[in-house]
Amino acid sequence: MTAKEYLSQARFLDSQINSKIQQVSALNDLAVSATSVLTGMPHSPNKATSKMAGAVEKIIDLQEEINQDIDKLVDLKKEISATIKSVPSAELQTLLEKRYLCFQTWEKIAVDMGYSIQHIYRMNDTALKEITLVLQHESKCD
C-alpha cells in the first residue's frame, strides 16, 4: 500500500458512512410515506405491519453498520494522525491533516496556508515521501 492509499483510507470510509446515512434517510422517508389503501375488501391486518416491521429492521441494521463504521473511522483517524505526527515538519503535518483527515481541497489548503497551489502540490509530494519512510520503518519494526 502506498502512502497516499494509506492516508486516503479515512476518506473512503467517510464516504461509505455518508452513503449509508443517505440510505437510512431514504428508508426513513419511505417508511414514513407508506400509507394504507382503503378498499371495501377485507384484508389481512398483519400484512402492512410486517412490511413496516421489515423496513424498520433494515433501518436498524443499517444504523448498526453505520455505528460500526464510525468506530472504525475514529480508530483509523487516530492511527493516521499518529503516523502524520511522525513527520518531522510541522508544516507538512498541517498539510497532511488538512487533506487526509479534514478532507479539504487543495485550493482551500493553499489559501489557508498562504501558498500557491503548485507549492502545495510540491509539499504534498515531500510529505508523502516522509510518510512512506515512516510506514517502511513501522513495517520493519513489526
> Over the stretch 121-139, which tens digit does the pLDDT of each residue have?
999 999 999 999 999 988 8
Nearest to 84 by CA among 130, 123, 139: 130
Q: Which pLDDT score is estimated for 41?
A: 54
Q: Which pLDDT score is estimated for 44?
A: 57
Which H, E and C letters describe the chain, residue by residue?
Answer: CCHHHHHHHHHHHHHHHHHHHHHHHHHHHHHHHCCCCCCCCCCCHHHHHHHHHHHHHHHHHHHHHHHHHHHHHHHHHHHHHHHHHCCCCHHHHHHHHHHHCCCCCHHHHHHHHCCCHHHHHHHHHHHHHHHHHHHHHHHHHC
pLDDT by 10-residue block (mean), the chain, 142 residues: 94 94 86 58 56 80 94 96 96 97 97 98 97 90 73
Q: Which pLDDT score is estimated for 58?
A: 86
CA gap 97, 104 in Å, rounded: 9
Amino acid at 31: A
Residue pLDDT, tens place only, 52-74? 777 788 889 999 999 999 999 99
Sorted by where each begins, the domain ranges of the chain are 3-38+47-137
